Structure 1
Amino acid sequence: MSERTLSQKPPIAFDPERAVALARETLEIEATALLELKSRQGPSFADAVQLLLRCEGRVVVMGMGKSGHVGRKIAATLASTGTPAMFVHPAEASHGDLGMITAQDLVLAISNSGESDELTAILPVLKRLFIPLLALTGRPESTLGRHADVALDTSVAKEACPLNLAPTASTTAQLAMGDALAVALLDARGFKAEDFARSHPGGALGRKLLTHVRDVMRGGAAVPRVAPDTPFTEMMREMSAKGLGSTAVVDDQGKVLGIFTDGDLRRQIEKGRDLRGLTAADVMTLRPRQVRDDALAVEAADLMEEARITSVLVVDAAGQLVGALNFNDLMRAKVI
C-alpha cells in the first residue's frame, strides 16, 4: 500500500476567477428569473390575495425538500406581518398532522414540479374538507396546479445550478412570490409598523416603537427639582445628590419654570459672577426642552440629538414635572 491512505483526497484545484464568474452567473440567472416572474403577475395574483384575505383561520404552508424550507420562511413572514400562519410537513400530515388543519384554514402548497407524492396524497382530503388551496408551482398544469383554487406560476427558465438540477432559481422564485403575497396582504390589512413591533418585542424595532418615555425615565424622588427662590448652594446640593447633571426649577404646582445644568454652571463661572448670593431663578434657563411621558422614547432621543443636549425633563398631560431622562437611560433600555 502506498503512503497515501485511503482517507486522503487529492488536492482540489481551485480557480478563483471561475468561482467569481459562477457567482455572477448565478445572480444573473436568478435576477432574470425574478424579472420574468414579475412580468407574469396579473389577475391570478389578485385572486390569490383575495383568497388569503377571506381565510378566517390560519394559512397552513406545506412543501417538501427545498420547497419545504422556503415554506417555513414564508409562514414566518406571513405570521409576523399580520396573517396567522404555520408550517405543516406534508409527510407528517399523512400520518396524523392533517388533524391540525381546520375548516377555517387555507393551505398554501409549494412544489416546483407540482407532483410531489406527499402533497398529492392529501389533496383529495383537502377537497373533501372544503379547505381552500393556493399553490405555488412551476407547472400550473400539474396535479397540484389543477386541484388548486388558485395556482401561481413560479416557473423559471433554468436553474442556476450548472447541472440544472439543484433547486436554486426555482426556490428563489418561490421565496420572492411568498414575500410578494405577504406585502400585498399587510397593505390590504392596513398593517402598520406598530403592529410589526408588537410581534417583535425583543427586536430593535420593537423597543423603538413600544418603549415610551415613562417606561425608562427617572421619576419620583430621583428627579432633581428646586423652587425658584432656592439658594444657589442648596440647588447645587440637589444636583449633586441626584446625579443627573441638572435640576428642574418648578413652581408650587409642579409646573416647569426653567432648568439649571452643569453647562449653565460653567458659563456662569466663565462670566466671573459671584454665585453665592443668587437663587435658582437668577441663573436658570427659561423654557427648557420638555417631552411628554406618553411619547415614544425614540422621540426623546431625537429631541436630545437635535437640541444637542444630554438630558430632558418629562412632563405629564397637565404640564407637571413627572420625570427626567438622559442618554444613559436610553442606552440602558437599548432604545439607542
Structure 2
Amino acid sequence: MHLDFLGFAKETLETEIREAQRMLARLDNSIELACQLLLRCKGKVVVSGMGKSGHIGKKIAASLASTGTPAFFVHPAEALHGDLGMIDAQDVVVFISYSGRAHELDTILPLIADNGIPVIAMTGDLTSPLAKGALCVLDVGVEREACPMGLAPTASSVNTLMMGDALAMAVMRFRGFSAEQFAHSHPGGSLGIRLLKKVHHIMRRGEWMPIVARESTITDALLELSRTGLGLIAICDKAGRVVGVFTDGDLRRWLIQKGSLDASISEAMTQPGFVLSANMLAANALDVLHEHHINAAPVVDDDGKVVGAINLYDFHQAGIK
C-alpha cells in the first residue's frame, strides 16, 4: 500500500498557512488594546491554559519574559488549588482556550474579574464565556483544523502561537528592547555568550600567563614558550607594560638566522606587539584576531599592563566562534 506522506505533509502545511492568512486578514484593533494592557501592566503577565493551549501558553509566557515583559505560566488546575494566590491586582492575565469553555478557566474567570484584573482571551469562539468575560479578545479561530478528522488541535494551535508571537514582538518593539537586553535574559545561549562575555572572562591568568622581562634572553623566552604552550609570550618592562611579543614563528626565524640563544630577547621580539583589551567583547576580539591572522595575544588593562593572555583555542572552549 502506497501512502503519500509528502502529499499529506504538504496538505497539513497548506491548511495551517491558509488559516494563518485568514487570521492576519481579520486582525483588528484588539491587538492594540492587548499591547496597551501589557505595557500598562505594573505587575506580571500571567498566562494560563489547559491541554494543548497550556503548552502554547508556556511558550508565549517564555517569549514575553525573554523580550522585556515579565511573564510566567500558571496551570489552571493548580490555580484552583492554591496557585491563584500567585496572581495579584497589578497583573494582567492571558487566558487561552480555543473553545472558550474550559471548565477550569470558567471557574477562575469571575474570581479574577472580582479583583479588577484585566483578562486577555485567546479563543476561537467569540461567543464563548471566556470571550464574554474578557476585557480584550484575540480571535485565533480557524475554519478547519489540519487534522483530517478535525479533532487534533493543529491549525488552531499554530494560530494561537502566532498570535502570542505577534503580541510579544509588538510590545518588544515599542519598548525598544535591545539585543544586549535579550542577551541578559539568555546568558547561557550563543547570543548571550557573544554579547556578554568579555576577554577577561575567558583569558589565561596567573601562572598560565606567558611573560618574561625585556632583560631576558632567547633561552628564557624558549623555556617560557615551552612551559605555557600558548605559542606566544609577552615581553614586559618593569611596570608590567607590554613592549613586545615573541612567538613560535619569531623563534624559528631567529634560529634560521643562526641567532644566539644567549642574545637579548629585545633583539628578536616583535615590537610593539599586538595586544587585546581585557574589557573588549570576546566575540569582537576573536574577529580582530582573525582579521590580523593572529592566533594568540597578551591581554592588557586600561593602563596597558598585562593581566592575561588568550589564544584561539580559549575562544573555542568558551563557545565563541
Aligned to 1:61: 47
Aligned to 2:81: 95
Q: Is 1:86–2:48 an aligned residue pair?
A: no
CA deviation after TM superposition for structure 1 residue 25, in Å: 0.5
Distance 1:161 1:264 in 2: 68
Q: Which runs of 4+ in 1 moved over 6 A?
A: none
Aligned to 1:27: 13
Aligned to 1:10: none
**Larger mean Cα displacement after TM superposition, 123-132 or 211-220:** 211-220
Q: Is the 8 A contact 2:232 2:297 kept in 1?
A: no
Per-residue CA deviation, residues 58-81 of structure 1 (Å, 9 max, x unaligned), is 111111221111112211222222
CA deviation after TM superposition for structure 1 residue 277, in Å: 5.2
Alignment equivalent of 1:172, drawn from 139, 146, 158? 158
Letter in 2 for 1:110: I
Letter in 1 for 2:158: T
Distance 1:252 1:105, change over 3 A: same
Distance 2:167 2:103 in 1: 26
Aligned to 1:280: 265
Q: Is 1:144–2:149 an aligned residue pair?
A: no
Distance 1:134 1:195 in 2: 26
Distance 1:119 1:320 in 2: 63
Per-residue CA deviation, residues 228-267 of structure 1 (Å, 9 max, x unaligned), is 3422222222322332221112223222222110012223
Letter in 1 for 2:110: P
Distance 2:24 2:111 in 1: 33
Structure 1 gap segments, 5+ residues each: 1-12
Alignment equivalent of 2:296, drawn from 307, 311, 334? 311
Q: TM-score when scaled to structure 1?
A: 0.88
Distance 2:258 2:23 in 1: 75
Letter in 1 for 2:261: R
CA deviation after TM superposition for structure 1 residue 173, in Å: 0.3
Letter in 1 for 2:304: G
Alignment equivalent of 1:218, drawn from 176, 179, 204? 204
Alignment size in residue pairs = 321
**Larger mean Cα displacement after TM superposition, 197-206 or 287-296:** 197-206
Distance 1:124 1:229 in 2: 82
Letter in 2 for 1:47: L
Distance 1:211 1:258 in 2: 27
Q: TM-score when scaled to structure 2?
A: 0.92
1:30 is paired with a residue of what secondary structure?
helix
1:218 is paired with a residue of what secondary structure?
coil
Q: Is the 8 A contact 2:245 2:274 kept in 1?
A: no
Alignment equivalent of 1:252, drawn from 238, 242, 254? 238
Identity rate, percent: 48
Per-residue CA deviation, residues 273-297 of structure 1 (Å, 9 max, x unaligned), is 4233532222111233221111222
**Larger mean Cα displacement after TM superposition, 147-156 or 127-136:** 147-156
CA deviation after TM superposition for structure 1 residue 83, in Å: 1.8
1:115 is paired with a residue of what secondary structure?
coil
Q: Is 1:323–2:308 an aligned residue pair?
A: yes
Distance 1:324 1:33 in 2: 56
Aligned to 1:43: 29
Structure 2 gap segments, 5+ residues each: none
CA deviation after TM superposition for structure 1 residue 46, in Å: 1.7
Per-residue CA deviation, residues 139-167 of structure 1 (Å, 9 max, x unaligned), is 23332222211111111221101122221
Aligned pairs for 1:185-200 within 5 A? 185-200=171-186
Distance 1:102 1:234 in 2: 69
Aligned to 1:72: 58
CA deviation after TM superposition for structure 1 residue 110, in Å: 0.9
